[in-house]
Amino acid sequence: MKHPVLHIALVLATLTARPVVAQQGPPPGVGSGDITFQPDSNATDPSIDTSDIYVLYAELPEQEYDFPDTLLGRDITQYDPIRLGPFDRGHLGNLGSPSYRLIFTPGNPTMGFHLGYDGFDLYRVYADQLAFYRLQQAMTKAYFSQGPTQENTYFQLQFGRSFANQTQLALDYRRINNEGALFHQRALDNALAVGLRHESAGKRYQFFATFATNSTELQENGGITAEPTNSQGQVILVSPLTISVELESPETRYATRELLWTHYLNLRTAQDTTGENRRALTVGHRLNYRTDVYKFYDDQPAADSSFYGNFQVDSRGIRHYVEHRRLENRFELKTFTMAPTDSTGVRRPRDLLSVGLLHQWHWLQQEPVDSTFQAVFLTGRMILQPVPRVRLEAYAHYGVLGNLGDYRLEGKLWLDLKKVGQWRFQAISQLQSPSLLEQRLYLTQELFWENDFKKTLETTLAAALLLPDWGIEVEGRYNLIANYLYFDSLGVARQSGTAISIPQLVARAQLHLGVLHFENELTLQRPSGDLLRLPSLYSRHSLYLEGRIFRQVMLARLGFDLRLHSDFLLPGYQPIFSQYILQEEQSTGWQPLVDAFFAFKVKKFRFFLRVENLAPLLTTRYYYLAAGYPIAQTGVRFGLSWQFVD
């Protein structure tokens, strides 16, 4: 990009507009590193079509969330999960492939032993992530999208139903079947979670029973060998299937299965016999059994290929296999008082204090060795909302056996100061043991590395300001990492002895002038050193017309999406263990990614048509989010979504 300063000025100029912004809170769990505003924000969005449906989770059933039906929001005009989170992520240019962070965010808290294959999490539904619903009728929400062929599809289904005996059924299913543009490039992801919730008539006892299964199958090709050129050496756009790739036979399979039983006994209920709120006292128990199986194999490696390098310890092929089973028990004691139900009907605690003890038993098989080990953690959580405009949340865990010294401390404070804006402050400190993959690797039944890395310490301080009347949101973050773990250009696990700091500034704004809408997000970040390679500037924009047509029956949206990032060294990718690694040869330059879209809604039915990656039509360039893996050239995708409540 020749004039990045002009681009920054354009984005900042939109901060003087008076748009309307809607914010949603994060789902409950062991904490989230993302800065988002509390769901009881006074900011409103006229495009929200609310229903009497509320979401809750087994981890903290006292806390509910809205289940909004956004008329034509990003959940319909965007389909790729890497573009649906608070910040965009990168992947191999193929829907369903492992993802990585383009914008630095604190790592998700992991208690105890973990394998390290986290790039697949974006496409999965784990048992504790299953949403249950408080509703009067059955709810079905389905989504389907298709790319250029029938081999490029994405399907989602959410279902919830309440029965007369205080029992609810919940289901979440997702399937990605995506044949990539290159030879031997395919992703097949299946995720299913189904659960039952039951609450006794006197509200003394409730349980959640959940089963979840996730599987991923990838055809790997190692990326392209080189960009195609003409006789003059100029890069030319050709059919992706004609581009030579590094590998033609490897495959990856990664599957998880879970059974989760969570139940609570109220020694003192949250309401007295007259229906007035009072302090509750609850004991809880959670039993979780999970299996993980990861397998990579290439039984026909090319004899003249140097792609695997030292990883090819056997000329007959490569195999990497890990199987892990975990049995987890957690006991919890908590006391809380419910807040009065607000105007949205959402229920949430005014104050809550919980303490818990968690025990894990692990069985690990790495061809050819087996091992068993245990871990014990202390846990705690606090919520305090003395007045509607002030809310404090805190979470902590600490390892006392097995992962001795591992901890996470997190605090979040929301302040609604009316005309001065809504403020949020966040602090996170986390000390975490390395993953199995970083510590020990076996290939084809031979030990390839065994490390004794130090624990990684991450610290984050953040503040955010939302001005609802102006539609402006600004976030400032400072992140510090000690003992950073990474994979070098050879794919070998390494640890840095130098601390890495990452200051960040994020600004969001929406311009709304009649039927014209202009949504903007700008992120600036500058990691110290050269090990954490991220774009120093990343922005995304949507410019569209939206209004009602056909006698006000149809709500329609027509416009463009733009993603732009500054030059940075792209990550390489090692398919043996599905990790992004450092590489020194390919950077992106300033890279714009432009899509055109049309979407409409009639009652509960929504439809979109999207023409993706228009830039190659003008530039005759290939675009990348990972070295050697070009993004699919210009193509068309359509999708539809419908919701039934009956």
pLDDT score of 552 more than 70: yes
Backbone angles phi, psi at 439, to 5 degrees: -85, -40
At residue 1, the pLDDT reads 45
Residue 560, classified by CB atoms within 10 Å of its CB into exposed (0-12), middle (13-18) or buried (19+), is middle
Confidence (pLDDT) at 51? 62
Number of DSSP helices (H) and strands (E) in the chain, helices first: 4, 37
Q: Residue 526: enclosing H or E segment and its boundaries? A: none
Specify whether the CB–CB gap between 636 and 629 falls below 8 A: no
For the record, the structure tokens of 89 come out as 């992520």
Instruction: Yes or no: say if 148 and 636 are a contact pair by the CB < 8 Å rule.
Output: yes
pLDDT bin (cut points 50, 70, 90) of residue 70 is low
What is the DSSP secondary structure assignment for residue 121, as one 8-state letter?
G
Cβ count within 10 A of residue 221: 25
CA atoms within 13 A on the CB side of 633: 16
Quick one: pLDDT band at residue 304, thresholds 50, 70, 90?
low
414, 422 in Cβ contact below 8 A? yes
> Counting beta carbons within 10 angstroms of the beta carbon of residue 646, is it exposed (0 to 12), middle (13 to 18) or buried (19 or more)?
exposed
| The one-letter amino acid at 511 | L
pLDDT at 598 over 70: yes
How far is it, in rounded angstroms, from Cα 336 to Cα 378?
19
Q: Other CB atoms closer than 10 Å to residue 2's CB: what's the count? A: 6
Each domain of the chain, given as residue ranges in start order, spans 4-645
Q: What is the pLDDT of residue 42?
A: 36
Q: How confident is the model at residue 13 (pLDDT cuts 50, 70, 90)?
A: very low
Compute the average pLDDT of residues 173-192.
Answer: 95
Going by C-alpha positions, the residue among 349, 333, 210 that lies closest to residue 266 is: 333
3-state secondary structure of 240: helix
User: What pLDDT sits at residue 69?
Assistant: 65
492-538 confidence digits (pLDDT tens): 999 999 999 999 999 999 998 999 999 999 999 999 999 999 999 99
* 4-645 placed in CATH 2.60.40.1760: no
Rounded to whole angstroms, the Cα distance separating 200 from 165 reads 8
Strands (E), 388-455: 390-401, 407-416, 422-432, 440-443, 446-450
The Cα 103–Cα 89 span in angstroms is 7
Please give the C-alpha separations between residue 481 and each of 89, 359, 478, in angstroms, as whole numbers. 20, 28, 10
What count of Cα atoms within 13 Å lies in the side-chain half-sphere of residue 535? Answer: 28
Which helix (H) or strand (E) element contains residue 54? strand 54-56
Averaged pLDDT for residues 50-70:
84
